[in-house]
Amino acid sequence: MSDTSLFVFSEELLAYKFNDEHPFNQRRLTLTLDLLKKHHAIRDDQIIKPRMATDEELELIHDRHYVNAVRLAGEGKLSTEKAVNYGLGTEDTPIFPKMHEASALLVGGTLTAVDAVMTGQSLHALNLGGGLHHGFRGKASGFCIYNDSSVAIKYLQKKYGARVLYVDTDAHHGDGVQWSFYDDPGVCTLSIHETGRYLFPGTGTINERGQGKGYGFSFNIPVDAFTEDDSWIDCYEAAFREVIEYFKPDVILTQNGADSHYYDPLTHLSATMKIYREIPRLAHELAHEYCNGRWIAVGGGGYDIWRVVPRAWSRVWLEMTDNDLSGPLSKEWIDSWQPESPVPLPQEWDDMEDMYEPIPRKPEITEKNALTLEKALYPIRSSRKTSASNEHS
């Protein structure tokens, strides 16, 4: 097991909790860490505690009045009318006690990971409590109050002068991060997600390419509903390789939502654990090839917290530490959590080949995704062809 990585965690991260019925459930952090511990894949000295983000850090992205509104809401001092204007007190982002403190800690966890990597304390760092990519400058959205990735990217720019490549593999488009840097040529965003035709937030088309000086630094691969592993991986690998070669970042920040899986209750994709091996594998490889290993990873979506998220998120840490586990899951982990799980827990690290009926439109979906990829990467590919022809003329 390699000692180049740090895992950001403390029990306080579980305080980000809307209510018992809400699909966003940070218990997945505990389930994931326990799975790693039961497999002896993480040591206590590899775990670091998150710090609280300061108001000044939050305001790198968020409006001061919004930060104050979140604080007041968590103290029960914000009127319903004002709360709704800030996206608070909705079905997606209900108000809960001390929500500012809980949210600021998630942001601080990602900043802790950033500092660990950028100061050379570690090559890679993982904050699974982060990845809240829908938060906007002055509004909560899609289960996200503060946008830790956006704050972290602005922090990377301001404190370390870094060019940042943000890669988002959540099934939902990484809208909040994209819009935060839409006109910034120092940040490149790549999001591969289910098409917004049927899924929140409805954005992330191939035509969203940035604006002003940032034009050409926003990439979206909206894959079709019911996309399976091979087509998904083809799109991801081609896009990541071509975008990183084009942008040449100093550091990679990956958002690792685990909601593209067939079992996820909120999305319509048909991926299996196969993609959750490939996502961190490629990020790790390219971080070493282009960024001297600098790789910061955060969590994100993932609403089957029993069968999917612990295995998918464990894969990020296992990849960071050059540890490849396969075969049966820890019997001790299964036995300790099965009494609480509403579904039978998986027995293996990987999914069974026949976990769902064949998708009848597979060839059509695969072809459509290949065309989407071609259109999304057209600016890179066309400029490459132009420069190649100029060299020969």
Backbone Cα Rg of the chain = 20
Which residues are catalytic, by number?
134
What's the pLDDT score for residue 327?
Answer: 97
Which candidate, 40, 28, 39, 36, places its Cα nearest to that of 7? 36
State the 10-residue block means of pLDDT for the chain, 393 residues long: 86 97 97 98 98 98 98 97 97 97 98 98 98 98 98 98 98 98 98 96 97 97 98 98 98 98 97 98 98 98 98 98 96 98 97 91 97 95 69 59
Q: Residue 134, SS3?
A: coil
Please give the DSSP secondary-structure letter assigned to residue 270. B
C-beta separation of 148 from 122 below 8 A: no
Contacts 24+ apart (CB under 8 A), 37-46: 38/330, 38/332, 38/333, 39/314, 39/325, 39/330, 39/333, 41/1, 41/314, 41/317, 41/318, 41/321, 41/323, 41/325, 42/7, 42/317, 42/321, 46/3, 46/5, 46/6, 46/7, 46/321
The residues with which 253 forms a beta bridge, in sequence order, are 166, 296
What's the pLDDT score for residue 2?
Answer: 60
What's the pLDDT score for residue 381?
Answer: 86
Q: In whole angstroms, what is the distance from residue 299 CA to residue 26 CA? A: 10
What's the pLDDT score for residue 383?
Answer: 75
pTM of the complete model:
0.96
Q: In whole angstroms, what is the distance from residue 136 CA to residue 146 CA? A: 7
What's the pLDDT score for residue 1?
Answer: 52
C-beta separation of 221 from 269 below 8 A: no
What's the pLDDT score for residue 208?
Answer: 98
Q: In whole angstroms, what is the distance from residue 129 CA to residue 249 CA? A: 24
Q: Which residues of 279-296 are buried (b: 16+ CB within 10 A; e: fewer)?
A: bbbbbbebbeebbebbbb
Quote the crossing angle between the two packed helices 378-392 and 229-247, to the nearest 10°.
Answer: 50
